[in-house]
């Protein structure tokens, strides 16, 4: 397989796998690098940093206001939210906050999907990718003027 990466314009990277071309920004490239590093060298410093990063993200979400949390839940990808709920199994405070800001119907759907999709453990690469995407949701909401994290 032939793989090429180039920066054809500032901040936009063209990644080509044989004939399939993808345009990625710096965050996408970073996410890809972290995931590949986690798979190839799971005990690496990058993996430890990703774990610390995830814990920081979860702590900040725990401190989020209800309005921001509701916007976050409504905007985030469903599957990423299911991953977040899975990794909050041992974080009762955040889990309660997430469920308190969902409708009864949403809560029921998430619990059913959680039971169905993730009976077993989730790979670190799936967790890292979901957390990265969820962080982007928060960043995008805040860029649009919606306060999620406390000041």
Q: Is the Cα torsion angle 33, 39, 45, 50 positive or negative in sign? A: positive
Residue 125 corresponds to which tokens in the numbers above? 């690469």
How high is the pLDDT of residue 52?
82
What confidence category does residue 82 fall into, taking pLDDT thresholds of 50, 70 and 90? very high
Pick the closest to residue 130 from 83, 96, 94 (CA basis).
83
Structure confidence by residue, pLDDT tens digits, 5-62: 888 888 888 889 998 999 988 878 887 887 777 677 766 666 677 778 888 899 999 9
* Ramachandran angles phi, psi of 69, nearest 5°: -65, -40
Name the fold adopted by 44-151. Answer: Annexin V; domain 1 (1.10.220)
Alpha helices in 41-100 (DSSP H): 45-62, 66-75, 78-87, 92-100
Query: Is-above-0.85 flag for pTM?
Result: no
CB contact at 8 A, 30 and 22: no
């Amino acid at each position: 397989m032939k793989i090429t990466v180039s920066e054809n314009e500032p901040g936009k990277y063209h990644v080509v796998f044989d004939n399939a071309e993808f345009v990625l920004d710096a965050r996408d490239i970073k996410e890809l690098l972290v995931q590949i590093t986690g798979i190839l060298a799971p005990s690496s410093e990058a993996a430890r940093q990703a774990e610390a990063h995830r814990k920081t993200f979860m702590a900040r979400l725990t401190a989020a206001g209800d309005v921001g949390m509701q916007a976050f839940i409504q905007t985030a990808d469903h599957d990423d939210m299911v991953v977040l709920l899975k990794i909050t199994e041992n974080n009762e405070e955040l889990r309660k906050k997430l469920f308190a800001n969902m409708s009864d119907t949403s809560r029921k759907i998430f619990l059913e999907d959680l039971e169905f999709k993730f009976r077993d453990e989730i790979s670190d690469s799936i967790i890292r990718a979901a957390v990265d995407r969820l962080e982007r949701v928060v960043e995008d909401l805040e860029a649009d003027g919606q306060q999620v994290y406390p000041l």
